Amino acid sequence: MIIAVQPKQKRRAVFVALLAIILGALIGTNFPFPGNIDEAVRAFMTTIQTPYGDIMMAISTFLGSPAMDIIYVIILAVILLLADLKIPAIWTISTMLLGQGLMRIIKILVNRDRPVGHLLTDSGSSFPSQHTFGAFVVIFIMFLLVMPNISSAVTRILAKWAIITIGFMVMLSRLYLSAHFLSDVIAGLLFAYAWVILAAACYPKMANYLKNNFRMFQHEEI
């Protein structure tokens, strides 16, 4: 299989998903934790804002926006199609779109207000951070599909650190701009990992179904 996960990754995904769900339950019931920590971090962020920081964080938050995340997976899907890997391309786009839909449902269920001082363009519920979720879905998909195909160990390590740094810059930008609380971005990261591993675990069934039931996929590499 082109996309496969190890049992330990599945166990880890279950664990982080439970952590994210617990965070959502605590926030949804207005439990003091993690609200007190969230407020302390929000207050600290307001003390370190600078004109240069505003520009850097605005760029980071744009690069991690849900619209840009969809563009990234479309580009990746096109590359996969050019490599004659249609089923992984379908999986890539489906993972992002379905995941974004799931996050919107969770936002509605938790219904957390945005931090004080957030930008007017940041509307809707605060938990979880959809910017963080989308950015790390892209990153974890690249970990599964792209990184194993980089032959040079040094290049692979540098590439991993580069995209992880971008992901954390997106997280930081959401805190810096008062768009989210700390627990929102942490939950976005946790949900992203759990979702990509779940989607990867489902890939063999999806791939075999398409290959066995649709003529256009009969000779596809899965």
Are 27 and 34 a contacting pair, CB within 8 Å?
yes
Across 35-49, average pLDDT: 92
In this prediction, residues 70-87 reach a mean pLDDT of 93
**Residue 42: CA count within 13 A, CB half-sphere:** 19
Higher pLDDT residue, 65 or 1? 65
Predicted pLDDT of residue 68:
95
Cα(65)–Cα(58) distance, rounded to whole angstroms? Answer: 11
**Is the predicted pLDDT of residue 180 greater than 80, yes or no?**
yes
Phi first, then psi: give them for residue 39, nearest 5 degrees.
-70, -40
**Domain residue extents for the chain:** 7-215
The predicted-structure confidence for 111-170, as pLDDT tens digits, reads as follows 998 898 776 567 778 999 999 999 999 999 999 998 888 888 899 999 999 999 999 999
* Top mean-pLDDT range of 52-61, 111-120, 191-200, 201-210: 191-200
Q: Give the chain's mean pLDDT.
A: 91
Averaged pLDDT for residues 194-205: 95
Res 205: pLDDT = 92
Q: In the prediction, which pLDDT does 120 show? A: 56
Single-letter amino acid code for the residue at 119: L
Question: What is the pLDDT averaged over residues 193-210?
Answer: 94
Report the pLDDT value the prediction gives residue 211, as an integer from 0 to 100: 86
Residue 62 clears pLDDT 90, i.e. is over it: yes
* Spatial separation of the C-alpha atoms in residues 191 and 133, rounded to whole Å: 7
Structure confidence at residue 1 as a pLDDT band (50, 70, 90)? low
Pick the CATH number of 7-215 from 1.20.144, 1.10.3470, 1.10.150, 1.10.287: 1.20.144
- Token pair recorded at residue 163: 């995209």
What would the mean pLDDT of 180-203 be, rounded to a whole number?
A: 96
Answer whether residue 172 shows pLDDT above 70. yes
**pLDDT of the residue at 32:** 87
By C-alpha distance, which of 216, 185, 199 is closest to 64? 185
Kindly calculate the radius of gyration of the chain based on its CA atoms and give it in whole angstroms. 18
Give me 181's structure tokens. 């609380």
Alpha helices in 29-146 (DSSP H): 32-45, 51-63, 66-82, 86-110, 130-145
Supply the pTM of this predicted model: 0.94
Q: Which of 190, 183, 143, 186 is nearest to 163 (CA)?
A: 143
- Write down the pLDDT at residue 121: 66
Residue 4, pLDDT score: 84
Residue 80 makes CB contacts below 8 A (sequence gap 6+) with 86, 88, 89, 92, 145
Q: Are 174 and 184 in contact (CB under 8 A)?
A: yes
Confidence at residue 119, expressed as pLDDT on a 0 to 100 scale: 66
- Evaluate whether 23 touches 31 at the Cβ level (below 8 Å): no
